[in-house]
Copies of this chain bind each other. A is one copy, B any other.
Amino acid sequence: MTIYDIAEEAGVSAATVSRVINDRPGIKESTRIKVREILAKYDFSVSAQARGLVNRSSMMIGILISDIRNLHYSEGAYIIERKMLSSGYCSIIMNTGSDPSQMASSIKSLSERRVDGFILIGSAFANALVKEAISKYLGELPFVIENGRLGMPGSAEILADDRKGAFDAASYLIERGKKRIAFINSSSTPSNMLKIEGYKQALGERAIIVDGAEDSYEGGYEATRRLLSEDQDIDGIIYAVDILALGGVRAALDLGLDIPGRLSLIGFDNSPYSFISNPKLSSIDSRLNELSEKCADVLLRMLKKEEVEKEIVFPPLLVLRETT
């Protein structure tokens, strides 16, 4: 069913039907009503495809995420999808994994779909291949990157201050009298590298960095267990992500260590995991949800050709619970 079918039954032209559908002015009220009636009668649904072709706007955006199963990405995707939809934009969501060439190919896909703009969630997208793919395929499109720096002209960057987050966490533990404070990291994303920097800044010579833990509960468990048995004096650990810390909590408990008396633990992101943890996990709130909200805001404004700030940084918050 097309607008021509509607037009025919209404005894008007397709142009008129189009005007009614789009609420354009300059239509006799009686015609408008007549057409609306027939539209309703057939539950007519316009082809966004055809419309997009002539309007040069698909009213779709792309959301690229390394892995939506990751709780804090799914929250971001949720917030952005809802906000965009309420302004009429559908979201194409793609999981790219952490492989830059996969990311690049997703970017090409988005280009073929003729999205009106897109959002990259996570610092993992801040790499050369992605940059190249964007300038090749999505050159002029507005986009925003959440918590990553790409330094491209058409884009906005909404950032968490990860360095400060780690610095604050470490400083807090030092203040509380902890002497040997370690940092357990998983993947080497730009975001995690900043956390390490902040941690080092606070610890200086006394920094103890465990790198390359698998990015999971088990990864945190193993890394913590190993660290704790190799170095009996560790009395504080900061983790690059909450889920690692949950594994760490269990490892410490299995080793019979008192939390937080003997050992303090701090996670990162203040995700729902942190209060699901038992004992509840203290965590650095990177305010990712607010970042996501802001991402959608900013993209929407860019889509309307409004001027936007190209860089917004959200300061972190240290949330204390039962592991410190």
Contacts and interface: CB of A to CB of B under 8 A. Distances in A.
A90 B95 CA distance: 11
Contacts of A47: 53, 112, 114
Contact of A249 (B60, B108, B278): B278
Given A68-B78, A69-B74, A71-B71, A45 B137 contact: yes
Contacts of A249: 278
A77 B75 CA distance: 13
Integer count of this chain's copies in the complex: 2
Interface stretch (A120-128, A156-164, A192-200, A269-277): A269-277
Q: How big is the A interface, by class?
A: 35 or more
A264 interface: no
A81 B52 contact: no
B48 A112 contact: yes
B90 A91 contact: no
Contact of A49 (B58, B91, B95, B277): B58
B90 A137 contact: no
A230 interface: no
A59 to B, nearest CB: 9
A217 interface: yes
Interface of A: 43, 45-50, 52-53, 58, 60, 67-69, 71, 74-75, 77-78, 81-82, 85, 90-95, 108-109, 111-114, 136-137, 217, 243, 246, 249-250, 253, 272-273, 275-278
Q: Which 10 A-B pairs have the closest CB atoms?
A: A74-B74, A43-B136, A45-B111, A93-B93, A278-B278, A48-B112, A69-B78, A45-B112, A49-B114, A48-B113
27 contacts: A43-B136, A45-B111, A45-B137, A47-B112, A47-B114, A48-B113, A49-B53, A49-B58, A60-B92, A68-B68, A68-B74, A69-B74, A69-B78, A71-B71, A71-B74, A74-B74, A81-B94, A82-B95, A85-B94, A85-B109, A91-B92, A91-B93, A92-B93, A217-B275, A273-B276, A277-B278, A278-B278
